Amino acid sequence: MTGRPRIAVVGSGIGGLTLAAALAESGTPCEVFEQTRAMAEIGAGVQLAPNAARHLQRLGIGAALTQHAVPIEEMHMYGRRGDLITSTPFGAACERLYGAPYYAVHRADLQGALLRLVGPEPLRLGHRLTSVAADGDEQVLTFENGSTHRADLVVGADGIHSVIREELVRDAPVFSGLGVFRGLIPVDRLPDAAREALIRMWLGPGRHLVCYPVSGGRLLSFAAIAPLAAATAESWSAQGDPAALIDAFDGWSGLVPDITRAADTVRRWALYDRPVLHTWSAGRLTVLGDAAHPMLPFMAQGANQAVEDAVELASLLAGAGTDEIPQRLRTYERARAPRAAAIQQGSRGHSETMHLPDGPRQRERDQALRHTAGITGLRERAWLYGHEAGARPSQRVATAEEREPAS
């Protein structure tokens, strides 16, 4: 059978919706199955680097990003006592080198923009997947509500606890020993500095805090990572104790005490990743985003890599006949698995270097960071921000050096 394939996408997060939008752009329809019965505004801030922002703009949500996201001008990194370690420019330099701004956006604003782009027609809400099984060249999905669905290709965009991943490998989430407090604070409850279009990060022994404005600058999103004694469920709706947040960062300087004291509502959950997945596809099944490579948040690339996956997969499926799917999925795996694994492992490694105790290694780290201050640090991100998913060599984004030769 060589007709246009029936594609089922499981999960309507950023990766699943980006895939649906990219498929629609190429004239390839799909159905998106989501376990929740209503799309709720959940989550907090997301950092959108140029390697994802370029694709989202091309897909048609540039106006929504302009309205709701905050283009970041610089990233500042401090010690816990408030001393500036290093700064990296974004702003116009980022657009010049990598073709798009570096955005900070509320996850709900980003998901809402993607939902409007995709439209209601492909969405199947209230469909929690319980199993998937092959029936000849078809895949049969069975849902908790008793319904079934047949497809020629199933894409698991169903997160770290992916049902589709279980068909590829038997592994389990790995607890990092860390938990994250997350929240949103109206900027009018904070000092004026909180309104600046900056990503600020304070590093200290065993923990760090990062913040940036979202929602057109009306809110400050923060993530405060600290040790967590026992593994708990990973849930964005898990309530946290504001007093525990204050205690975890007691004695820190800069905006940190202002943030921790102003956060009267916080969420807290444990941080997990999974072992690197080397086999992304089997037959007519594949995965993307957190189902393929759940990452610790230390490189701020989780959502960005989900967008890259979606764009790469959509480009490979454009015009494909049903009989071509297995080969296209093998190409997708070869294109995406090495890069995602490097970023996933790099994110895990950063959890140590960012949380060094005061002492010689911490001072060596800070000195190394100072050497990459300014435009040098932005240029060194060419491998990350200049990557063009779904592009053939002639279509790729030029490296920083090619765009702006050294003087």
Residue 203's contacts (CB-CB under 8 Å, 6 or more residues apart) are: 77, 78, 79, 80, 85, 354, 355, 356
Residue range 233-276, pLDDT digits in tens: 655 567 889 999 999 999 999 999 999 999 999 999 999 999 99
- Predicted pLDDT of residue 236: 55
φ and ψ of 108, to 5 deg: -65, -35
Task: Please name the residue ranges forming H helices in 131-273.
Answer: 242-248, 256-262
Question: Do both 144 and 238 map to the same domain?
Answer: no
Residues 145-181: b if buried by 16+ CB within 10 A, e if exposed: eeeebebbbbbbbbbbbbbbbebbeeeebebbebbbb
- Predicted pLDDT of residue 395: 43
Whether pLDDT at 56 is above 90 = yes
Question: Do both 178 and 297 map to the same domain?
Answer: no
Higher pLDDT, 41 or 81: 81
Whether pLDDT at 385 is above 90 = yes
212 is catalytic: yes
The SS3 of residue 61 is: helix
Q: Select from 318, 349, 380 the last residue of a domain.
A: 349
Let me know: does 85 contact 369? Beta carbons within 8 Å.
yes
Residue 16 tokens, joined = 């699943």
Whether pLDDT at 402 is above 90 = no
Question: Do both 149 and 187 map to the same domain?
Answer: no
> Is 315 part of any domain?
yes
Let me know: does 240 contact 267? Beta carbons within 8 Å.
yes
CATH number at residue 284: 3.50.50.60
Alpha carbons 178 and 229: distance in angstroms, whole number: 8
Residue range 75-91, pLDDT digits in tens: 999 999 999 999 999 99
Question: Do both 151 and 294 map to the same domain?
Answer: yes
Alpha carbons 8 and 138: distance in angstroms, whole number: 11
Whether pLDDT at 65 is above 90 = yes
Compute the mean pLDDT over every residue in the chain, rounded to the nearest whole number.
92
Question: Do both 245 and 190 map to the same domain?
Answer: yes
Question: Do both 206 and 164 map to the same domain?
Answer: no
Residues 208-240: b if buried by 16+ CB within 10 A, e if exposed: bbbbbbbbebebbbbbbbbebeeeeebeeeeeb
Residue range 142-184, pLDDT digits in tens: 999 999 999 999 999 999 999 999 999 999 999 999 999 999 9
The SS3 of residue 31 is: strand
Question: Do both 53 and 160 map to the same domain?
Answer: no
Question: Do both 165 and 227 map to the same domain?
Answer: no
Among all chains, which residue has been given the structure tokens 């199955």? Answer: 33
CATH number at residue 209: 3.30.9.30
> Is 403 part of any domain?
no
Let me know: does 65 contact 56? Beta carbons within 8 Å.
yes
Rounded to 5 degrees, what angle do the CA atoms 302, 272, 240 make?
A: 100
- Predicted pLDDT of residue 40: 66
pLDDT band at 407 (very low <50, low <70, confident <90, very high): very low
- Predicted pLDDT of residue 233: 64
> Is 10 part of any domain?
yes
Alpha carbons 52 and 25: distance in angstroms, whole number: 17
Residue range 197-245, pLDDT digits in tens: 999 999 999 999 999 999 999 999 999 999 998 877 655 567 889 999 9
Residue 27's contacts (CB-CB under 8 Å, 6 or more residues apart) are: 318
Q: Which range (95-104, 194-203, 249-258, 384-393) has the least confidence?
A: 384-393
Whether pLDDT at 398 is above 50 = no
Question: Do both 197 and 322 map to the same domain?
Answer: no
Question: Do both 232 and 138 map to the same domain?
Answer: no
- Predicted pLDDT of residue 406: 38
Let me know: does 158 contact 294? Beta carbons within 8 Å.
no
Among all chains, which residue has been given the structure tokens 């408030």? Answer: 82
- Predicted pLDDT of residue 238: 72
Q: In terms of residue numbers, what domain contains 193?
A: 43-106+174-273+356-390
Residue range 324-381, pLDDT digits in tens: 999 999 999 999 999 999 999 999 999 999 999 999 999 999 999 999 999 999 999 9
CA 104 to chain centre: 12
Alpha carbons 316 and 312: distance in angstroms, whole number: 6
DSSP 276: P
Side by side, the strands of the sheet bearing 174-186 are 84-89, 74-79, 198-204, 207-214, 219-227, 174-186, 267-273
Beta strand residue intervals within 189-319, DSSP E = 198-204, 207-214, 219-227, 267-273, 281-282, 285-287
Report the Cα–Cα distance between both ends of the chain, in Å, rounded: 57
Residue range 1-25, pLDDT digits in tens: 467 899 999 999 999 999 999 999 9
> Is 365 part of any domain?
yes
Rounded to two decimals, what is the model's pTM? 0.94
Total domains in the fold of the chain? 2
Question: Do both 148 and 178 map to the same domain?
Answer: no
Which listed residue (98, 212, 272, 385) is catalytic?
212
